[in-house]
Amino acid sequence: MFSKNKQILIVMGLILPFYSYAIESSQVEAKSSNNSYFYQQMSKLESTVGGRIGIAVYNTRNKETLSYRGNERFPFCSTGKVMTVAAILKASEKESDLLTKIIKYNKADTDKSAYAPITSKYVAKGMTISELSQAALDYSDNTAMNLLVAEAGGVGKITDYARSIGDEKFRLDRMEPELNTAIPADNRDTTTPLAMTMSLDKLAFGQSLESNSQAYLTKWLKANTTGDKRIRAGVPNSWIIGDKTGTGAYGTTNDIGIIWAAKCDPIVISIYYTQDQKDAKSNDSVIASATKVAIDALAKNDACLRNQLNLK
């Protein structure tokens, strides 16, 4: 039997890590609310369009982080494909021939996934892990996502990978297309804007992946074909964007990515938008508008961004 004092210490040991994480998260959220322009503009946008917007943006130049509903959970839909591909890339660092491994599948797999613009073309011969990763990120191919999750060992392994890089919020519970139900208050297949932004920064620029893996990830994000009306539409045309969109029920409209303004350091951003009605339509303009608000707010403390935007 443990003594009373030992029991107290054990309980405190269990509680303190969670308490510490909560304090850290609230401090990041508080920092965002100190920027009155950003908070007011995001609140105004949300009131105009209805529904709920969550955004977190991180400037790698000066480490400024802004967020609105940054600690609230949102259904990530296909933005979760980034974490899945990252888990595969991490595994490939120990298994040198993993990316060239050919995965066989059948028409039942493509039919079940509900969206297979690339994998449906190669049912006869299969696709390599690298090709599936590119299909998942650049074309949001659901069959590719499911095959990658299976290769990783199941949905729990993707969540485990998120935990391994310090992300305590991301959770993958289901395969495509079920993960897109986006039911309000359903925590399955959700994350928070702050968690996703910090994870994407770690994956692209931190130590979570080796340089070769990072090169693959950013190359595929930049080649995305589904995001022209979202983050990309909220910045000047000359800027380079690498992103991954997500769309689901309840009008859920998402985009996460990296923004490279000419001569400026990268900006990492995650935007989630969801509504109350199951049959609500997705709304690309919300993502574009939120992006513009975020960039304008960051520019207030970044001379490089101000110069690129021709702001005084």
The answer to whether the CB of 148 falls within 8 A of the CB of 91 is: no
Q: Collapsing DSSP states into helix, strand and coil, what is residue 56?
A: strand
Q: Report d(CA 255, CA 246) in Å as an integer.
A: 6
Active site residues: 78
Q: Please, how many CA atoms are within 13 Å of residue 289, restricted to the half-sphere of its CB?
A: 16
Task: Give the DSSP letter of residue 280.
Answer: P
The answer to whether the CB of 273 falls within 8 A of the CB of 67 is: no
Q: What are phi and psi of 253, to 5 degrees?
A: -135, 115
- H or E element: which one contains 293? helix 284-299
Q: Report d(CA 245, CA 78) in Å as an integer.
A: 6
Write the CA distances from 253 to 51, 96, 103, 195, 269, integer angstroms.
11, 36, 31, 18, 14
Query: SS3 helix, strand, coil % of the chain, rounded to 5?
Result: 50, 15, 35
Amino acid at the residue 160: D
Q: Are strands 253-260 and 65-68 parallel, antiparallel or unpaired?
A: unpaired
Facing residues of 243 across strands? 257
Amino acid at the residue 63: K
Q: What are phi and psi of 67, to 5 degrees?
A: -150, 155
The answer to whether the CB of 257 falls within 8 A of the CB of 240 is: no
